[in-house]
Amino acid sequence: MAPSIRLSPAARSLFDEPLAIAVQGLGPRQQVTLRTSLRDETGQLFQASARYQAGDDGQLDLARCPALPGGSFSGLEPMGLLWALQPQKPFWRLVKRDVQSPFLLQLEVLEGHGERPGQLLAQAQHERAFLRDGVRRVPVREGRIRATLFLPPGEDTFPGIIDIHGLGGGLSEPRASLLANHGFATLALAYYQFEDLPQKPKELHLEYFEEAVNYMLQHPQVKGPGVGLLGFSKGAEVSLAMAAFLKNITAVASLNAPVAATYIPFSYKDKIIPNVTLHEHKAKATNSKFLDYSDVMDDLFQAPGNQSLIPLEKAEAQLLFIVGQDDRVVKSERCATEVCKLLQAQGKGNFQILSYPGTGHCIDPPFFPLYPIGSHPIFHKRAVLGGELKAYSKAQVHAWSQVQAFFKKYL
């Protein structure tokens, strides 16, 4: 019997879903290398490989067989061939622009453990999709809002979430599309550098985000009375400012938030939150010659009454702070800890912190590759963003399930 790859689900799975991988028809205790590859929408290649030894019966099940040293990872890691994918082009990030088409994953089984790949024994293809059957993708151009709404299948009402991305502009849909697969009506919201939105906003007007909240609450398939917000980096900062100033925000999940206005100030009606000063000269060169910007921001908690701090004591929403302990862009763990101390001192208990070791600034849904060194979102120089491969892969899976549980509980 010739070797073959057995996958479950067989042909197609959602990008954030586990994929069971097994090989059958090998010789007893045969040594093989498994390799995965995937090309992004620009054609850039991502690859991972791992060394295995089949059982006495010639079977190899990644859920039961540990990977041997010498590949992209080792140990019992059933999803290692997905989370360990790394770009061939250095410092390249895996981005999904068109969520309506899947990524195509190639799997190969190669003879032996040599530095050079051995003979090809078996291969398979698998689609990693962003939209479950029946999820609707609805472009939104209402008033000033520029967004995409993802609705789960069916005619029911669903808890509503607004997903707000970090600096970099444009409209990012992957996280919102994946959330819709889990039963949330999710609005991926652009706020600058997209269509007719400002290219370089002097300030972010919270009225724009208020319009998005009202759009969601007026939608016949969004279950009120409030909405949830999921924000990353600058988007998490926006989400926290919304919770402090706007009505009808029930729950906010914040991924690595600065908890103060950075780079672009906020305004709402006649109130302005000025941005905190960043000192580029405080960036440190690491021994890998990349810059570490984690100390460029003034300490928000040294001077009491700092005007740049978001007044979270005004927020009535439940707050979930998700922080990477190795975040080198924002000291997000310290920010969350200090802000929660301030809330606690005011008798508030509407917050929780999930803190992940070995996790850097970028916290994506499960199985997106680690992006530890990239362009700094403000200084646009190559910078350390932080994170370690194995720890980050565990954090992604755990944080993603916690975000969904949090929104199910409070929405």
Residues known to be catalytic? 233, 327, 361
- The count of other CB atoms within 10 Å of the CB of residue 89 is 10
Closest CA to 82 of 65, 105, 59, 58: 105
